[in-house]
């Protein structure tokens, strides 16, 4: 099998490209190639070109964060002989967290020898997501960060804080109509929503603790509008993934498993797809079961305590 490492030089620390290349050069007995992307979208173009030329097994290793994984996925979808893996070196590395120890993916020999198994993908308006789609409060934070990241005082390392403060004043009430498998689940307003194939987003937020990326379903987690005071009291619980069985969320949380979700927002409504902003008015989102094969050095991990408990928000809708 050919192993192609698609490296995003803008992810992680500046020196990691040389470090990874040196580590790969020390491995013997493997057919390894390295490709360093030039700009946004280049990974998709390159992977698709390779897939169009080949008809023998090839495994692509997305070297970067979740955005890099998404670009590689967009290029390889539909090619049965292509597999995916990941060498996580981005800022969040959220998708691989559901496999347990992220550092396990650093062992290149184990990664090269790992077996691939089928996982699902999310399809949204013709493109793919491997991890989580967000809208509402979180997307406003991401959108603000993109606008201010190069500005003095409020950008750079302060961009996230700037985004959160802006969202507290401007994104506590977000307007859209949301249908989950044909059922409308809101009254035209909501605070935040995640549509998950993975479990984590934003570097640390465990929005969907019960999500499995191979069950043919998406986990939809929507939080209704609350006051800023209530939001600040509950955000830590949500971040740690304790919201599904916490009575404080009983009246404000909708958590469902579904195959198709439709979001109808106003003009220029925005969602976040694996960390990347996507604008539009209507979004049709559906699961693509067993869409690709993903190779991981460790099995998929689901928190046993969460799995064993009855989740009020699923049973009560």
Token pair for residue 232? 């600040």
Spelled out in words, what is the top-level CATH class assigned to the domain 132-288+305-315? mainly beta
pTM of the model: 0.91
pLDDT digits (tens, 9 = 90+) for 182-234: 999 999 999 999 999 999 998 889 999 999 999 999 999 999 999 999 999 99
Helices (H), the chain: 16-25, 42-53, 66-76, 108-113, 137-148, 159-170, 228-239, 304-308, 312-315
Contact 208, 194 (CB under 8 A): yes
Count CB atoms within 10 A of the CB of residue 84.
22
Cα 250 off chain centre by: 26
DSSP 212: -
pLDDT digits (tens, 9 = 90+) for 113-167: 999 999 999 999 989 999 999 999 999 999 999 899 888 889 888 888 999 999 9
The ranges assigned to domains in the chain are: 2-121, 132-288+305-315
Hey, which CATH number is domain 2-121, 3.30.43.10, 3.40.50.10330, 3.40.50.2300, 3.40.1380.10? Answer: 3.40.50.10330
């Amino acid at each position: 099998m050919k192993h192609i490492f698609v490296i995003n030089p803008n992810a992680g620390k500046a020196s990691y490209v040389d470090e990874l290349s040196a580590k790969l050069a020390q491995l013997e007995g493997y057919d390894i190639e390295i490709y360093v992307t030039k700009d946004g979208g280049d990974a998709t173009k390159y992977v698709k070109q390779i897939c169009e030329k080949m008809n023998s097994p090839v495994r692509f290793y997305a070297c970067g964060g979740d955005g890099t994984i998404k670009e590689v996925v967009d290029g390889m979808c539909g090619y049965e002989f292509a597999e995916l893996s990941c060498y996580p070196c981005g800022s969040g590395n959220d998708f691989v967290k559901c496999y347990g120890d992220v550092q396990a993916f650093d062992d290149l020999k184990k990664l090269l020898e790992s077996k691939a198994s089928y996982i699902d993908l999310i399809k949204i308006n013709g493109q793919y997501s491997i991890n989580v789609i967000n809208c509402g409060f979180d997307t406003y934070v991401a959108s603000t960060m993109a606008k201010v990241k190069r500005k003095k005082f409020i950008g750079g390392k302060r961009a996230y804080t700037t985004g959160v403060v802006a969202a507290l004043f401007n994104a506590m009430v977000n307007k859209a109509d949301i249908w989950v498998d044909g059922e409308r689940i809101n009254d035209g307003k909501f605070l935040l929503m995640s549509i998950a194939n993975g479990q984590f987003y934003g570097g640390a937020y465990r929005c969907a603790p019960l999500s499995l990326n191979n069950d043919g379903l998406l986990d939809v987690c929507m939080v209704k509008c609350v006051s800023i005071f209530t939001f600040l009291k509950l955000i830590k619980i949500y971040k740690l993934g304790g919201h599904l069985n916490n009575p404080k969320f009983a009246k404000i949380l909708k958590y469902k498993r579904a195959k198709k979700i439709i979001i109808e927002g106003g003009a220029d409504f925005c969602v976040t797809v694996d960390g990347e902003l996507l604008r539009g008015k209507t979004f049709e989102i559906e699961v693509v079961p067993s869409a690709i094969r993903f190779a991981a050095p460790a099995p998929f991990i689901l928190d046993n305590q969460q799995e064993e408990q009855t989740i009020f928000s699923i049973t009560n809708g």
